Amino acid sequence: MNKLYQVKHELWLDILFASFAVENREIKERLYDFSMIAFRHMKWLGESLLEKGDDYNYDRSKTLHKRESNFEIFQYLIREIKAAQEVYEPGVLTARIITDENYLIQYLASLLENSENDARVTAFDMHRTMPSKNLDAVQTDALTIFLFEESYKEYELILVYAYMQARTGELLHFNVFQDLIDESHFHLKSFGNMMAQMGILALPRELHEMTYKVTDIEKFVINGIQEEENAKEECRALAEAVNDTELSQFFDFINYQENYHIELMKKLL
């Protein structure tokens, strides 16, 4: 079951980052929806493991496969889903997972039947420009560093809060963790899509187990509040550095959301 959890974790990332890499808006959103279903599979699987007195971790071994076309991505996902299903054991949960995944396979297969759904993928080519934006080298470097740092932070927060949520019996804590998870999903989606637009899409680095196996929860929350304060400052500085009204407004928007994250974390204290 621990091996299955790793397989599901990696499959979630496969589908999620495929949604970032594909430019077609309709396909992008459908793949993102499927990635959220895959994340729920992880949640349910984790709960099942804990109920049985077992545990799980966030170990990963897979790297991001840099495909050059939509069809290569769709074919890769079909192969990876089928490979994952070979690990499954019979059960109510796996039956649900399989039917969800088979529907995704059918969707991907239908896309492959129409050549109009194919397109060149530029998410990995390192062109480092934003569509319709004229950023200089300093602004581009600042945006690049920010996206790499913040995409890791949001990935980390999703997994850490999910790990803690699965282990709390307090309704208030559960709800706060869920809000923070949902917000981090939105931020990761925003940053992932921007990385793809710039041709710098990459997986966040793997989490060390000491990141999510929290022994001092109060210290963790206090440190988390400080991280949110730091993220606010990063957003504020980037909004000032990027000489573009639309981008500056977006980073101000993220900055203001971090304000409420701090208030949510204060509830935990």
The pLDDT tens digits along the chain (269 residues) read 578 999 999 999 999 999 999 999 999 999 999 999 999 999 999 999 999 999 999 999 988 888 999 999 999 999 999 999 999 989 999 999 999 999 999 999 999 999 999 999 999 999 999 998 889 999 999 999 999 999 999 999 999 999 999 999 999 999 999 999 999 999 999 999 999 999 999 999 999 998 999 888 888 889 889 988 888 888 888 888 888 889 989 988 988 888 888 999 998 88
- Structure tokens given for 69: 């076309």
Cβ(189)–Cβ(242) below 8 Å? no
As annotated, the residues of the chain forming the CATH 1.20.1260.10 domain(s) are 1-121, 123-269
**Mean pLDDT, the chain, integer:** 93
Q: Give, in words, the CATH class of 123-269.
A: mainly alpha
- Interatomic CA distance for residues 112 and 23, integer angstroms: 16
Q: What is the pLDDT of residue 2?
A: 74
Q: Could you give the CA distance from residue 30 to residue 25 in angstroms, rounded to a whole number?
A: 9
- Burial state string for 99-130 with b = 16 or more CB within 10 A and e = fewer than 16: ebbeebbeebeebeeeeebbeebbbbeeeeeb
For residue 10, count other CB atoms closer than 10 A to its CB: 18
Alpha carbon dihedral 88, 113, 195, 12, in 10-degree steps, equals -10
Instruction: Kindly report, residue by residue over 6-15, the tens digit of the pLDDT.
Output: 999 999 999 9
Q: What is the pLDDT of residue 44?
A: 96
CA distance 154 to 183: 9
Q: What is the pLDDT of residue 244?
A: 86
Scored b (16 or more CB within 10 A) or e, 78-89 reads bebbeebbeebe
pTM recorded for the entire structure: 0.94
8-state DSSP, 208: P
**pLDDT value for 1:** 58
CB 70 within 8 A of CB 118: yes
How high is the pLDDT of residue 109? 98
What would be the CATH architecture of the domain defined by 1-121?
Up-down Bundle (1.20)
